[in-house]
Amino acid sequence: MLAKITSSLCVGIESSLIEVEVDISSGLPQITIVGLPDQAVKESKDRIKAAIKNSGFHFPSRKKILINLAPADIKKEGPIFDLPIAIAILVAHGHIHPKHVESFCIIGELALNGALRAVKGALPIAMGLKGTIKKLILPIYNAREAALQQNVAVYPVRSLEEAVHFLNGDKTITQFSVSLSNYLQNKQKYPVDFSDVRGQLFTKRALEIAVSGAHNILMVGPPGSGKTMLAKRLPTIFPDLTYDEALEITKVHSATGTLKSHHGFISLRPFRFPHHTISAIALAGGGPIPKPGEVSLAHNGILFLDELPEFNRNVLEVLRLPMEDKTVTVARIKQVMTFPASFILVCAMNPCPCGFFGDRKKECHCSTAKIEKYLSKISGPLLDRIDMHIEVGRLTIKEFKSDHTEESSEKIRQRVNQVRQLQEERFRNTKNIHFNAQMNPKEIDAFCTRTNKAQELLELAMKELAFSARAYHKILKIARTIRDMKTVHSCTPRHISLLDKVIPIESDDISEALQYRGLDRNWLNRS
């Protein structure tokens, strides 16, 4: 007898419906799986057989069982088809009526005792359900993430036995649902705060600009100056995630299988902090079973590369495309997968191998050649994509001991929020651009109007300080963010939407922006 079950497979962060067909006939006893299965799917035969027997059902051992996974041109990976294949065998064998399975999509990995294990990609799978299939049977561990897709009925099960009883109407399972407002009301809480960091006003200001306009930033400073400490506090000054942002991030984690079952929803801004020994594939995504890399796990958040020169130069090269396109494309046989990758890149490094070049108190013992070699480890094209480079100095004992109360993350965050709202209005009709840092020359022309004085200063700086043409655009974008910050902070939030969205950049905005281009001036001849 022939049986058919609808299942689904997550490919990248999208999903495809898969038909699982099972035919049981007389003939030489054997189980064959066709339809481009990988090794894990082929190995499922024995698992399924054991799970069916151990769940108390009869397995047709003396029959010929043909399992077809369609369409045949999609490579079927992983153990996600265990449950639909087992159910299809039980339908074909007469344990379940075919009518009872028609409206369901079924996914799940089976243990030998018939218990279900979590699978990857439950959220993209729920989001990909269409037509008449709007009901999903899946392992209980994946219920939360799948239920985020509100127009799909999610039925969580613990075992094959439970799934069969439910389909036969012998057991009731309540549809699983989550309250989205509960998730979003979950205010972001962090154990760290900007007020932990004493002094460093210049660096704090630069970081606020970076987050406000989504500019990539590099911090250069001696050991112990607080670079890592500051970077780790960056998520605390971002605006709360919107529902759409949170859903995009959760989708990536669902596809990677890194969601905790009791969470199901990522509501914290990503802060990814990969070690410098990371491989190109782990950073950008890919591999034999393609997975999103750190750039995608940092989507809508921060990718922090601490000790930048320690990273392998070739590994850093893979950042170039995602930084430009805000997505990563992984090519595979017969298919191309695209993962989102829109993040702010934050890097930190010492100015030289000993760490004290340019320090006010400690002497640097590195030769010029040694410093040059150290700096040359950083990929030029990567540096080109970083808007801001700043020097972070060490605190003096006096600054460190001062009893001055530092500004809290919450206060900074409120300001960042306003500047981001202004940009949202500005770029409402501009496709794929949300923040100042993302402007192309066309938008720079339209939105970076400046006073004559500002233009004069910019031209003078280009000439005197030998800035490159590339730096010219970057300075304008940073100056745009600085002017936006000044504009919104001088008026009440209510008035923001009424503001002229292109208040001209002034010369003091340009002169401040110039300070955030430390590497344009020759690093070694600074002092």
Ligand X SMILES: Nc1ncnc2c1ncn2[C@@H]1O[C@H](COP(=O)(O)OP(=O)(O)OP(=O)(O)O)[C@@H](O)[C@H]1O
Question: Does the protein bind ligand X through residue 201 (CB under 6 A)?
Answer: no
Residue 229 binds which entry of Mg ion, ligand X, Zn ion, none, CB below 5-8 Å type-dependent: ligand X
Residue 78 vs 221, nearer CB to ligand X: 221
With CB under 6 A as the contact rule, the residue among 15, 250, 267, 350 that binds ligand X is 350
State how beta strands 30-34 and 64-70 pair.
parallel
The residue whose Cβ lies closest to Mg ion is 228
Residue 44 binds which entry of ligand X, Zn ion, Mg ion, none, CB below 5-8 Å type-dependent: none
Question: Does the protein bind ligand X through residue 351 (CB under 6 A)?
Answer: no
CB neighbours (10 Å) of residue 454? 23
Is the Cβ–Cβ distance between 244 and 184 less than 8 Å?
Answer: no
Least separation in angstroms between CB 413 and ligand X: 19
Query: In the chain, count of helices (H) and strands (E)?
Result: 22, 18
**Amino acid at the residue 309:** P
Least separation in angstroms between CB 282 and ligand X: 22
Judged by CB under 5 A, the stretch of 122-130, 226-234, 241-249, 500-508 that binds Mg ion is 226-234
Residue 57 vs 356, nearer CB to Zn ion: 356
Is the Cβ–Cβ distance between 409 and 190 less than 8 Å?
Answer: yes
Residue 53 vs 276, nearer CB to ligand X: 276
Question: Does the protein bind ligand X through residue 159 (CB under 6 A)?
Answer: no
Residue 98 binds which entry of Mg ion, ligand X, Zn ion, none, CB below 5-8 Å type-dependent: none
Least separation in angstroms between CB 412 and Mg ion: 21
10 Å CB burial of residue 476 (0-12, 13-18, 19+) is buried
Residue 348 vs 478, nearer CB to ligand X: 348
Residue 415 binds which entry of Zn ion, ligand X, Mg ion, none, CB below 5-8 Å type-dependent: none
Least separation in angstroms between CB 364 and Zn ion: 3
Binding residues among 224-263 for ligand X as defined by CB under 6 A: 224-229
The CA distances from residue 29 to 32, 40, 60, 63, 367, in Å, are 10, 22, 9, 5, 76
* Residue span 340-369 as binding mask against Zn ion, x where in contact by CB under 5 A, dash where not: ------------x-x--x------x-x---
With CB under 6 A as the contact rule, the residue among 197, 241, 328, 505 that binds ligand X is 197
Is the Cβ–Cβ distance between 204 and 229 less than 8 Å?
Answer: no
Residue 49 vs 227, nearer CB to ligand X: 227
Question: Does the protein bind Mg ion through residue 228 (CB under 5 A)?
Answer: yes
Element (H, E) at 332: strand 327-332
Is the Cβ–Cβ distance between 418 and 494 less than 8 Å?
Answer: no
Element (H, E) at 489: helix 469-489
Least separation in angstroms between CB 475 and ligand X: 26
CB neighbours (10 Å) of residue 214? 19
Question: Does the protein bind Mg ion through residue 455 (CB under 5 A)?
Answer: no
Question: Does the protein bind ligand X through residue 69 (CB under 6 A)?
Answer: no
- The strand pairing partners of 4, in sequence order, are 21
Residue 350 binds which entry of ligand X, Mg ion, Zn ion, none, CB below 5-8 Å type-dependent: ligand X
Element (H, E) at 5: strand 2-11
Question: Does the protein bind ligand X through residue 60 (CB under 6 A)?
Answer: no
DSSP string of 130-153, one letter each residue: -TT--EEEEEGGGHHHHHTSTTSE
The residue whose Cβ lies closest to ligand X is 226
State how beta strands 109-110 and 14-25 pair.
unpaired
Cα-based torsion angle of the residue sequence 380, 384, 385, 389 in order, rounded to the nearest 10 degrees:
100
Residue 317 vs 407, nearer CB to ligand X: 407
Question: Does the protein bind Zn ion through residue 374 (CB under 5 A)?
Answer: no
Residue 223 vs 441, nearer CB to ligand X: 223
The number of angstroms, rounded, from the C-alpha of 242 to the middle of its chain's C-alpha atoms is 14
Residue 228 vs 327, nearer CB to Mg ion: 228
3-class DSSP assignment, residue 445: helix
Residue 237 vs 505, nearer CB to ligand X: 237
Judged by CB under 6 A, the stretch of 78-86, 112-120, 197-205, 407-415 that binds ligand X is 197-205
Q: Which residues have CB under 8 Å from 151's CB, separation 6+?
A: 134
10 Å CB burial of residue 321 (0-12, 13-18, 19+) is middle
Least separation in angstroms between CB 239 and ligand X: 24
Quick one: tokens of 483? 């002017």
With CB under 6 A as the contact rule, the residue among 60, 114, 221, 264 that binds ligand X is 221
Helix orientation angle between 469-489 and 452-464, rounded to the nearest 10 degrees: 140
Least separation in angstroms between CB 17 and Zn ion: 60
Question: Does the protein bind ligand X through residue 198 (CB under 6 A)?
Answer: yes
Residue ranges in contact with ligand X by CB under 6 A: 197-200, 221, 223-229, 348, 350, 395
Q: Which residues contact Mg ion by CB under 5 A?
A: 228
